[in-house]
Amino acid sequence: MSVTETDLCVIGGGSGGLSVAAGAVQMGARVVLIEGHKMGGDCLNYGCVPSKALIAAANAAHAPQQPNAFGVTPTTPDVSYQGAMEHVGRVIETIAPHDSVERFEGLGVDVRQGYAKFVSPEEVEVDGHRIRARRFVIATGSSPFVPPIPGLESVPFLTNESLFDLRKRPQHLIVIGGGPIGIEMAQAHRRLGSDVTVLEGATALSADDPDIAKVALDAIRKEGVVIEEGALVSEVSGKSGAVTVKTKDGREFEGSDLLVAVGRKPNIDKLNLDAANVAHSEKGIDVDSALKTSNRRVYAIGDVTGGMQFTHAAGYQAGIVVRSAVLGLPSKARTDHIPWATYTSPEIAQVGLTEAQAREKYKDKLKVARADFSGQDRAIAQDDTRGFIKVMVVGGRPVGASIVGPHASDLIGIWALAIANKLKMSAVTSTVLPYPTLGEINKRVAGNYFSPMIFESALLKRVVKWVQRFLP
Ligand SMILES: Cc1cc2nc3c(=O)[nH]c(=O)nc-3n(C[C@H](O)[C@H](O)[C@H](O)COP(=O)(O)OP(=O)(O)OC[C@H]3O[C@@H](n4cnc5c(N)ncnc54)[C@H](O)[C@@H]3O)c2cc1C
Ligand SMILES: NC(=O)c1ccc[n+]([C@@H]2O[C@H](COP(=O)([O-])OP(=O)(O)OC[C@H]3O[C@@H](n4cnc5c(N)ncnc54)[C@H](O)[C@@H]3O)[C@@H](O)[C@H]2O)c1
């Protein structure tokens, strides 16, 4: 059996693994990258990219139908589900070269196709070859978790891995799970013309602030998506085109297609982790704050660690690992500054602590500032004033921000910057932004934080009177 010696062996060519491989090889390390399936991983092939492309198509179908303030008569366009899915395919094809074997080989990475498995603490095997590395990075991602619901073994169902292969619009899509996957895909399918029912066992979009989630969920319900909360699915039956779903409290729902979106399971089965002494649980691979596993030669990043499961989180962790494994520098990963967004209409975005988390941690030291899109000139001009922002502030510095409203996913950036760099609220108020922009809501909320201190201060009023008496 051939043995290749290398500095760094990256297992998994998705968001995390590709970032490590590209960074390390360009810094001069010898890098082997092993990918078992499709380069680009979940994000490119079954996740962020196809879902956002489908949402864009759904939004284009929805917009002309809406009553509006612009004097434009609503119309009912012909909407082709197949056309929307073909758009999804083209978007993947357009982005794929960036993540391709050819590009990475061009950068100098030794790319191997096949599933890697450890055979010792410093060796893996792939496709009959052995790779011995000074350091390993496991970035094997996650797969849809399929719960042991009676009936699911015999009823056809979709997951994020098969959904984007559909060409025929589901007549009535039943979505099990009201997390970000379920809710994003529910609204997109409604906008493309399907009836949609979401069955959520607990609370929909439960990772987000409840006031924020409510604005989005109310809007989605208003578009006709049925979202049942406290509806734990306990049994499914039927066949393709006619499925029945029962919930624990005895309710029954009928639809044509089933999408299972109840969370993720880490891709660890093929890795033979015990041979490498890498500790793990059903949640994923255990890592410390430097992203090292119980084997000091082996790091793990991204979804496989069961932490924040976002492409940008995997990318951030890749940078931490490159610093440590390639440059030998001490490096620790944070999570407090990692934002996320859910691409519903209106959008949701969060960074740092929610109000409830901040209240629990900081008690009465917490101040919460809020601003509504209804007071935003640009939002008014665009006739989209749903939503608001709240910022959690402790000692003059933001510790969290929550936004629901137009372009929330972009607007959260300034708070991600502020929290990452421990900036004060005054850094936001002293920034000048072009008028009229949605971004001004960030200045407005920061202004609202200072207003009571400035406009309700008796001392300041006395000082102003005194200054005015003597000002020449
Ligand atoms: C429907 C959906 C929508 C999403 N939308 C967003 C979004 O809008 N924004 C966002 O930030 N995140 C989103 N995510 C999450 C995002 O896709 C993941 O967090 C991200 O892909 C994780 O990157 P990763 O590198 O950990 O894993 P992946 O990108 O999945 O890469 C893992 C790779 O490892 C390979 N692999 C597995 N086992 C082995 C092995 N033994 N040997 C070799 N290779 C192996 C796999 O084939 C895969 O290519 C979404 C996810 C889904 C499912
Ligand atoms: N915009 C984004 O960034 C984005 C979009 C999609 C996915 N993602 C990532 O993918 C991850 C997985 O998303 P997800 O939506 O699959 O998982 P999730 O864990 O966020 O949500 C799953 C939901 O399913 C519910 N559930 C579980 N069992 C059930 C049952 N038997 N009946 C009814 N409901 C049940 C849970 O209560 C939960 O609310 C996310 O946490 C996120 O990290 C990100």
pLDDT of residue 1: 80
Best probe residue, ligand 1, of 52, 118, 140 (max atoms within 8 Å of C-beta): 140
Taking residues 49-75, report their average pLDDT: 97
pLDDT of residue 270: 98
Cα separation, 333 vs 307, in Å, equals 12
H helix intervals, 77-209: 81-95, 101-107, 180-191
Closest CA to 445 of 395, 394, 392: 392
pLDDT of residue 307: 95
Q: In this structure, are residues 319 and 21 in contact, taking their beta carbons and an 8 Å threshold?
A: no
For the chain, where do the domains classified as CATH 3.50.50.60 start and end?
A: 3-39+100-144+265-326, 152-262
Assigned architecture for domain 340-455? 2-Layer Sandwich (3.30)
The complex scores an ipTM of 0.98
Q: In the predicted model, what is the mean pLDDT of the chain?
A: 97
Cα separation, 69 vs 348, in Å, equals 24
Which residues, in sequence order, are bridge partners of residue 198? 175, 227
Best probe residue, ligand 2, of 200, 236, 410 (max atoms within 8 Å of C-beta): 200
Three-state SS for 42?
helix
Taking residues 210-228, report their average pLDDT: 98
CATH of domain 152-262: 3.50.50.60
pTM of the model: 0.97
pLDDT digit string (tens) for 320-363? 999 999 999 999 999 999 999 999 999 999 999 999 999 999 99
Beta strands in 310-422 (DSSP E): 340-342, 347-352, 366-372, 388-394, 397-405
Report how far ligand 2's centroid is from the alpha carbon of 182 (Å): 7
CATH class of 3-39+100-144+265-326: alpha beta
Cα separation, 6 vs 23, in Å, equals 15
Is 373's C-beta closer than 6 angstroms to any atom of ligand 2? no
For the chain, where do the domains classified as CATH 3.30.390.30 start and end?
A: 340-455
